[in-house]
Chain A
């Protein structure tokens, strides 16, 4: 799996958009970009993932550059409850549903996002 690089920490004002970058310059063609977050003392929470097209769901948007070497997670209107560690993970999706190596996610150090009033 490709290695990812994220800033150690970021700040964001409440109500503003939070843009969290992730560099994955060694990503290969069959690797997806996944984002998770972990709020203090809780288990990680899946946010969104994508291959090459921009994706949006009820939680966030994911923008992947055309060369796929980097991506940005966007929280459009950050709230205090969005304060968390955000993890960017690059992971291949196997074509065989019977395979045994699914879901072996590797969590790095992530980005500590602090949303302040």
Chain B
């Protein structure tokens, strides 16, 4: 299994509070991604990173920011959490080589509840 962990695994917070989710990898992969999964919507890409300090928006990036100061860590921040951000968040990594562009390895997920 790919060395990818997410923390925390579960979090309950209140509306308006800041929240940071962490994704940590030990594979030295170039690409990292944050998805959210909600019933009826499947998995949707929030942000992704193609290198240290290189990030870009996905399809549902509003209300989220990311940072990647080193290869192994990709942080997802909800500056002011809202109830609509209650979801399961998955981090994924991929090597980004010419043969494995779209082969992503996913973490175990973080279940976030915003009250």
* Partner-binding segment picked from B13-21, B70-78, B91-99: B91-99
A109 lies within 8 A of B108 (CB): no
In the complex with contacts A94-B101, A97-B96, A108-B42, A103-B106 CB distance below 8 A: no
Tell me the residues in window 40-86 of chain A with beta carbons closer than 8 Å to chain B beta carbons.
41-46, 49
- Which single residue of chain B is at the shortest CB-CB distance from A89? B102
A45 lies within 8 A of B102 (CB): no
Report which of A41, A89, A103 forms a contact with B33, defined as CB distance below 8 A. A103
Report the minimum CB–CB distance from B24 to chain A (whole Å). Answer: 14
Chain B positions within 8 Å of A, measured between CB atoms, are 31, 33, 35, 42-45, 48, 50, 54, 56, 58-59, 90, 92, 94, 96-98, 101-109
A107 contact set on B, CB distance < 8 A: 35, 42-44
Chain A positions within 8 Å of B, measured between CB atoms, are 32, 34, 36, 41-46, 49, 87, 89, 91, 93-94, 97, 100, 102-110
Report which of B31, B33, B98, B109 forms a contact with A42, defined as CB distance below 8 A. B109
- Which single residue of chain B is at the shortest CB-CB distance from A107? B43
**Complex Cα–Cα for A3 and B109 (A):** 26
- Which single residue of chain A is at the shortest CB-CB distance from B33? A103
A43 contact set on B, CB distance < 8 A: 90, 92, 106-109
A103 lies within 8 A of B108 (CB): no
**Complex Cα–Cα for A45 and B106 (A):** 7
B42 lies within 8 A of A103 (CB): no
Report which of B90, B96, B107 forms a contact with A103, defined as CB distance below 8 A. B96
Sorted nearest first, the 3 A-B pairs with minimum C-beta distance are A43-B106, A107-B43, A107-B42
B92 contact set on A, CB distance < 8 A: 43-44, 103
